[in-house]
Amino acid sequence: MFRWRRRGRNPVAEILPRALGRLIEGLNPRPETPRPRHHNPDAVVDCAVYAAGVRKPGAVDFNSARIPRGGFLWLGLHEPDRATMRAVAKAFGLHELVVEQTVERGHRPGVEVIGEVTRLVLRTARYVEHEELTATSEVIDTGDITLLIGPSFVISVRHGAPGALWSVRKEAEKRPGLLRHGPWAVAYAIANRMVDDYLAVSAAVEHDLEHLEEETFEASRSAEVAHFYQLKREMVELRRAVLPLQEPLTMITPPAALQPYFVDVRGRLARAADRINGFDNLIDSVLQARLTQVTMAQNDDMRMIAAWAAIAAVPTVGAGIYGMNFAKMPGLDSPYGFSLTIAVIAVICAGLYWRFKRAGWL
């Protein structure tokens, strides 16, 4: 106490502001600063240099890769972040807008040329296996692949689970005569695989449609209307992946040696598009038949309800008449009045039942 006074310090005056400051900070916490996204090194799936159609052995870093004359580099990325794409853009001299376009997912199929680089976007599709179609079944899963095709490189950026390209790379490496044509050979191999996937998905969807059609016309069990709408929603997603790709594939200008390959891809893509359009019409037809069945079933129910209401009206009318407070009514003084009334009501109800049964209302 005496030392504090001699030094001119007041312990209460020092501790109290600190305590109040901590209390106010606890009541009003500071907003958390968003953590920056870290670099994602796992985005690089594979990177290889190809010379004369053959892959050069050894690991390749795209920042320091040496591409031989007439060869090219194929860099495969899966869901890269902005840091990874900025490094790629710097290494290959890409436009800054390519970074933003490539990082985001969900692009529509299209093609554009930026300088010497062609940006080709394809949608991926995969059929999701399920035991039976329900109102919430996921039938088709989609993603997208962006191809950046330059004079001596091709960069494939994939978003989503479908469309893994490792098998495409392995199959392409078995065809050195194809890879000898450069980066556009990779674009053909990927587009060819996407079209194969579209045809495989459409074949699986056709099986679901056949199953729905069988259930619709079964006497014991009919498909729910919600199942049709769910499959129709999934078909819309598949249409968005397949149909818009037809125009970009006609706009690209690959080397003359690869033109026949792309013509084949465009032909099979048109076949897949026609198939999907046919499925859409088939869903509408079967759905219309199912809605007609529902309407007919509702009409049958209404006729049955009306028939039973007419039968129930007979005893109701009889009871209502004899429930009136009249002094003189026929049958009140007779010992057989009650039995006769019940018998008349039963005969009329039986006659109505027989008539409705014969007419098919019951």
Per-residue pLDDT of the chain (362 residues; tens, 9 = 90+): 333 333 444 444 444 445 445 444 444 444 433 333 444 556 889 999 999 999 999 888 888 888 888 899 999 999 999 889 999 999 998 888 888 888 888 888 999 998 889 999 999 999 888 777 776 778 888 999 999 999 999 999 999 888 889 999 999 999 999 999 999 999 999 999 999 999 999 888 888 887 777 777 665 555 576 777 777 888 888 888 899 999 999 999 899 999 999 999 999 999 999 988 888 777 777 777 777 777 777 787 888 888 888 888 888 887 887 777 677 777 677 777 778 788 888 888 888 888 888 887 77
Q: How far is residue 273 from each of residues 174, 234, 330, measured CA to CA in Å?
A: 30, 15, 80
Residues 6+ apart with CB under 8 A from 217: 289
The 3-state DSSP class for residue 169 equals helix
Determine what percent of the chain falls in helix, strand and coil, rounding each to the nearest 5.
Answer: 55, 15, 30
d(CA 74, CA 77): 10
**221, 215 contact by CB (below 8 A):** yes
First to last CA, the chain: 104
**Has domain 302-359 been given CATH number 3.30.70?**
no
Strand partners, 49: 73
Entry pTM: 0.70
266 and 251 in contact (C-beta within 8 Å)?
Answer: no
Rounded CA separation 179/117 (Å): 18
Phi, psi (deg, nearest 5) at residue 23: -65, -45
Report the distance separating Cα 284 and Cα 224, nearest Å. Answer: 14
CATH of 41-295, one of 1.10.390.10, 3.40.228.10, 3.40.50.720, 3.30.460.20: 3.30.460.20
33-42 core/surface letters (b: 16 or more CB in 10 A; e: else) = eeeeeeebee
Residues spanned by CATH 3.30.460.20 within the chain? 41-295
d(CA 182, CA 73): 9
